[in-house]
Structure 1
Amino acid sequence: MTLNETELLSSVPNQLLINGKWVDGSGESSIRVEDPATGKILREISNATAVESLAALTAADNAQASWAKTAPRERAEILRRAFELVRARSEEFAMLISLEMGKPLAEARGEVTYGNEFLRWFSEEASRINGRFGSNPEGTGKMIVTHRPVGPAFAITPWNFPLAMATRKIGPAVAAGCTIVVKPAELTPLTTLLLAKTFQEAGLPDGVLNVITTSTSSATSGPLIADPRLRKITFTGSTQVGVKLLEQAAKNVLRTSMELGGNAPFLVFDDADIDAAVAGAMLAKMRNIGQACTAANRFIVQKSVADEFASKFAAKMGELRLGRGVDPETTVGPVIDEKARANMERLVELTVSEGGDIATGGKKPEGAGYFYEPTVLTNVPANASILKEEIFGPVAPIVTFETEEQGVSIANDTVYGLVSYAYTEDARRAMRLVDSLETGMTGINTGLVSNAAAPFGGVKQSGLGREGGAEGIAEYLETRYVLMPNS
């Protein structure tokens, strides 16, 4: 079935969801959601202020006690119904993601599959919240350890994966028995609004999920975070913003989950299968046009194979076809906005001025939309500025190394530690890398590590806590201990 863009966009709510009702925001002007491939406005939606954010928290707080008492199986069934509804409407969600975010339709379909798995996974985890019972070491009593919902949560999601980042937070909250207020990114709110509508159809009670969209993020979120009724904040975004949120959360000692910036190293050793490494590099670098915290940011290649890797990698990058995401011929879409594109231009010019060479790409094409050519930079100095920044776009710098120790040292030379990738055929080296690379996740001979059943998160300034896996639901639970004396 061919979807009509106009009909699809008109089916998406353009208001705030508070206590089960779609209501207008009190912001002075509406939010205009733009298609980054054309610069045209897709839809105008309500703009919330602190008035609505606090109303959403009130709804979540009022629903918290009854939702926490809801049987785990019932919570599981609601999540499962939501999963089935999203799967049935996968093409609608994929097109909407492509329209508001810009990624190619084929990749948007992949996000729907991936994001929806969090609903299925946490529907299965809802009834697996276990505790402990046993004698204390002294034998004088019984210890009972149980877990209960943290309480109302506030989720702030980024623009680059509008479905997956929402389901990765809503899924465990609902499964654990927490109510939640979600603030999607101003640039890509439509997918989350459609998801909220889907949850309503799945039977989620009023007040359990509330959605506010706003163009004044700090002013709208600040009073909510300061309110003592809020008990948890979960955020995906830049480290800079994450630090500010942690400072705000500290005042009320809120539970926090922070999935922050990345500077992922992609190591290629001289014993690697170079063709496989190039395929992995394309996957790791160009997922979401390079606009992903897990995107390979620094290509660290052993000197003896650097020329072969660079030439093959540049050839593959040069084959990509720029275009609007909903065009089936498109293999790479636009970056999210003009600011992002200007940053690509700045980084490339800076790297060239520092001694790097452009192997392919390196400029923006003429015409509408925020496009930038997929770019490979070679002969990049080890101290180049680009190696210190999160690129968040289709630019791949290659730096070389001589020994394993040197390669690992370059990889770890960053304040970030989200994910790393490495290609080698030496099993012993692979096991050494598992221990030596300072990241929360590592892919050995693969360019893709994300999975709903696995704990997603980083170390150092890449964040706190984990999303996904059995660990994901634990972030929404607090532990209680009871001692019952034997006499």
Structure 2
Amino acid sequence: MPLRPTTSSDLLIDGELRPGSGGTFDVINPATEQVIGQAANATADDMDAAIAAARKAFDNTNWSRDHAFRARCLRQLRDALLAHTDELRELTVAEVGCPVFLTHGPQLVGPVTDLGYFADLAETYEWRRDLGEAKPMGIPNRREIRSEAAGVVGAITPWNFPHQINFAKIGPALAAGCTVVLKAAPDTPWCAALVGKVIAEETDFPAGVINIVTGDDHSLGALLSTDPRVDIVSFTGSTATGRAVMADAAPTLKKVFLELGGKSAFLVLDDADLNAACAMAAFSVVTHAGQGCAITTRLVVPREKLAEATEITRNALAGLRADDPTKPGTVCGPVISARQRDRVESYIRLALEEGGTLETGGDRPERPGYFVSPTLVSGLDNSSRVAREEIFGPVLVILPHDGDQDAIDIANDSPYGLSGAVWGADPDRLDAVVDGVRTGTMGVNGGIWYSADVPFGGYKQSGIGREMGVAGFEEYLETKAVARPA
């Protein structure tokens, strides 16, 4: 059946598709600034109903104990979504503004396919582990460790990679046996709501196991943090909001997973292929208009090669102009909203105020849509705000270093530690840099770490915990020790 909403999408609560109690709100295409439809606008009452449904489903059904059934439901969802790939691709590009090529990877097909990995984990994970015999106080006992679902998960997700982040939360949470309330970002409600439609109409998920709530009120997510019926909050977004989530969750001492901001460094050693490295740094920072927490936005090059690296990067960025995301070959589409464009442009102005030079970009293309031209800033040091704060746009700062240890120090001189990259020729030097940089992921000479089985998360103010992989799956488990007389 067709997946496209004719007027508006619905909430998924307790197994039913229903309108939002707050009516609807507009869905806007960031590449055209045009309203393309409406989404259900939830209220606090809708969120209360969703939490109640998730709590009931966890407490009163066999969902958390039937590993094979959970795996079957996840594979059903994967297969049903893949059957709707063409429709979802069109909607995702229109709603998110991402270039089409990304929907063949992390913007759609990749995370949908990854549901199969978590289905496999549900079936193969060692849910019980025998510890053998021991004699505490001389009394023989047999012990075992059981892993059990943690309970109700409140998942709060952002707009930049909605499918990837939504499925990186609900996939492992459901595979682990939890029930879920997903609060989707107001800027990209359809990406979540249409998954809810598929779940309700084309899978066997029991009522209440997965609930999907959309709304333009950001405070709805805070209800998940404060409600005692929710056992875990899994949040991806800004570091500032992550602090608020953690504070809201503190009174009920619920478990909190946070995947937060980044200002990752792209380190180029003096024996690297400078042309290849700088071209890759340029490509990375404009991908999806720089709207990725793990994108490398500080290019750190040998001081003696700074002028050459600046020229190479400037020319590469000039050839990667912001353009229509539906066009083949587009890498840099629009930013998500007028508000985000204003934020990015405020940092470009700040770069000039701090004494920087705009090597290229810094303007808006003359076309409808929330576009910002790919921008390279030189002439700043790592203490500048533009080099330290997350911009979330196609803005790259180039910085000089004075040797490998200085490059490591610059990378680490940041409140964040989410991702990074290093380019060079000597394997021992590369390995020393990887060891030295305090960050959750590192790419070496273009290596790609993103995969369903690779845990993702950060050091320092980039977050708490890991998403994806076995480590991400285990975020949604509790550990129970059991002993009986031998």
Say whether the 8 Å CA contact 2:63–2:70 is kept in structure 1. Answer: no
Match of 1:436 in 2: 436
Partner of residue 204, structure 1: 205
Residues 1:355 and 1:455: Cα distance change in structure 2 (over 3 Å):
same
Q: What's the secondary structure of 1:10's corresponding residue?
A: coil
Relative distance call for 1:8 and 1:129 in structure 2 (3 A) is closer
1:42 aligns with 2:36: yes
Contact map agreement 2:314 2:360 (CA 8 A) in 1 = yes
Q: For 1:133-152, what aligned pairs fall within 5 Å after superposition?
A: 133-138=130-135, 140-152=140-152
Compute the displacement of 1:137 (Å).
4.5
Counterparts in 2 of 1:69 and 1:188: CA distance versus 1, 3 Å = closer
Instruction: After TM superposition, give the deviation of residue 73 of structure 1 in Å.
Output: 1.5
2:165 matched to 1:165?
yes
**SS of the residue 2:90 aligns to:** helix
Choose from 5, 16, 34 the match for 1:10. 5
1:118 alignment partner, SS class: helix
Give 1:122's aligned residue: 118
2:365 corresponds to which residue? 365
CA shift, 1:55, in A, is: 0.2
Provide the secondary structure at the position in 1 that maps to 2:252: coil
SS of the residue 1:68 aligns to: coil
Question: Over aligned residues, Cα RMSD in angstroms?
Answer: 1.8
Aligned AA for 1:95?
A: E
Q: Which residue of 2 aligns with 1:4?
A: none
Distance of 1:346 and 1:223 partners within structure 2 = 32
TM-superposed deviation, 1:279: 4.0
Match of 1:90 in 2: 85
Q: Distance in 2 between matches of 1:388 and 1:300?
A: 13
Whether the 8 Å CA contact 2:420–2:441 is kept in 1: the answer is yes
Percent identity reads: 36
Measure how far apart 1:327 and its partner are. 3.0
CA distance in 2, matches of 1:397, 1:164: 27
CA contact (8 A) 2:13 2:53 kept: yes
Is 1:293 matched with 2:287?
A: no
Q: Deviations over 1:273-312 (max 9, x none)?
A: 2233134313432232100001112111111232332222
Instruction: Tell me, yes or no, if the aligned pair for 1:13 and 1:193 is still in contact at 8 Å.
Output: no
The one of 50, 58, 80 equivalent to 2:52 is: 58
- Give the conservation status (yes or no) of the 8 Å contact 1:284–1:448: no
Give 1:321 shift: 3.8
Distance 1:179 1:8, change over 3 A: closer
State the alpha-carbon separation in 2 of the partners of residues 12 and 478 from structure 1. 42
Contact 1:8 1:96 in 2 (8 A): no
Q: What letter matches 2:71 in structure 1?
A: A
Structure 2 contact 8–38 (Cα < 8 Å) conserved = no
In 2, the alpha carbon distance for the partners of 1:44 and 1:393 equals 26
Contact 1:358/1:377 (<8 A) preserved = yes
CA distance in 2, matches of 1:388, 1:401: 16
Partner of 1:269: 269
The answer (yes or no) to whether the contact 2:263–2:414 under 8 Å persists in 1 is yes
Residue in 1 that maps onto 2:217: 216
Who is 1:3 aligned against?
none
Q: State the distance in 2 between where 1:445 and 1:168 align.
A: 26
Q: Which residue is 1:243 aligned to?
A: 243
Give distance in 2, aligned partners of 1:237 and 1:60: 23
Paired residues of 2:7 and 2:37 also in contact (CA < 8 A): no
Deviation at 1:376, TM superposition (A): 1.2
Is the 8 Å Cα contact of residues 222 and 245 (structure 2) preserved in structure 1?
Answer: no
Q: Is the 8 A contact 1:16 1:46 kept in 2?
A: yes
**Cα distance change, pair 199–340 in 1 and its aligned pair in 2 (3 A):** same
**Does the 8 Å contact 1:12/1:193 carry over to 2?**
no
- CA–CA distance in 1 between the matches of 2:224 and 2:407? 45
Contact 2:231 2:255 in 1 (8 A): yes
2:93 aligned with 1:102, yes or no? no
In 1, Cα distance between equivalents of 2:303 and 2:16: 60
* CA distance in 1: counterparts of 2:134 and 2:65, whole angstroms: 34
Q: How far is the alpha carbon of 1:12 from its aligned partner?
A: 8.5
Distance, in Å, in 1 between the alignment partners of 2:163 and 2:62 is: 24
Residue in structure 2 matched with residue 68 of structure 1 by the alignment: 63
CA distance in structure 2 between the aligned counterparts of 1:412 and 1:342, rounded to whole angstroms: 29
Distance change in 2, residues 1:304/1:12 (3 Å): farther
d(CA) in 1 for partners of 2:55 and 2:267? 47
Tell me if structure 1 keeps the 8 A contact 2:283–2:317: no
Q: Distance in 2 between matches of 1:82 and 1:223?
A: 27
Matched-pair contact (CA < 8 Å) for 2:287–2:332: no
Query: Is the 8 Å Cα contact of residues 382 and 388 (structure 2) preserved in structure 1?
Result: no
Corresponding residue for residue 345 of structure 2 = 345
Structure 1 stretch displaced more, 339-348 or 384-393: 339-348
Is the Cα contact below 8 Å between 1:150 and 1:477 reproduced in 2? yes
- Residues 134-143 or 87-96, more deviating: 134-143
Deviates more, 1:187-196 or 1:77-86: 77-86
Gaps of 5+ in 1: 1-6
Partner Cα distance (2:198, 2:78) in 1 = 9
Deviations 1:241-268 (A, max 9, x none): 1111111111111111110111111111
Decide which moves more: 457-466 or 335-344: 335-344
Alignment of 1:155-194 (within 5 A): 155-194=155-194
- TM-aligned CA deviation for residue 67 of structure 1: 4.2
SS in 2 for 1:453: coil
1:485 Cα shift? 2.4
State the AA in 2 paired with 1:215.
D
Partner of 2:313: 313
Amino acid of the structure 2 residue aligned with 1:105: V
TM-fit CA distance, 1:145? 0.3
* Post-superposition offset of 1:206: 1.5
Write the distance in 1 (CA, Å) between the matches of 2:83 and 2:388. 43
Q: Using a 3 Å threshold, how does the CA distance of structure 1 residues 73 and 59 change in structure 2: closer, same or farther?
A: same
What is the alpha-carbon distance in structure 2 between the residues aligned to residue 450 and residue 145 of structure 1? 31
Question: What aligned pairs does 1:307-456 form with structure 2 within 5 A after superposition?
Answer: 307-328=307-328, 330-446=330-446, 448-456=448-456
Describe the shift of the 1:382–1:478 C-alpha distance in structure 2 as closer, same or farther (beyond 3 A): closer
Scaled by the length of structure 1, what TM-score is found?
0.94
**1:11 positional shift:** 5.7
Taking structure 1 as reference, are residues 177 and 481 closer, same or farther at Cα in structure 2, changes over 3 Å only? same
Compute the displacement of 1:207 (Å). Answer: 1.0
* 1:53 aligned partner, one-letter code: M
Name the CA distance, whole Å, in 2 between partners of 1:274 and 1:67. Answer: 57
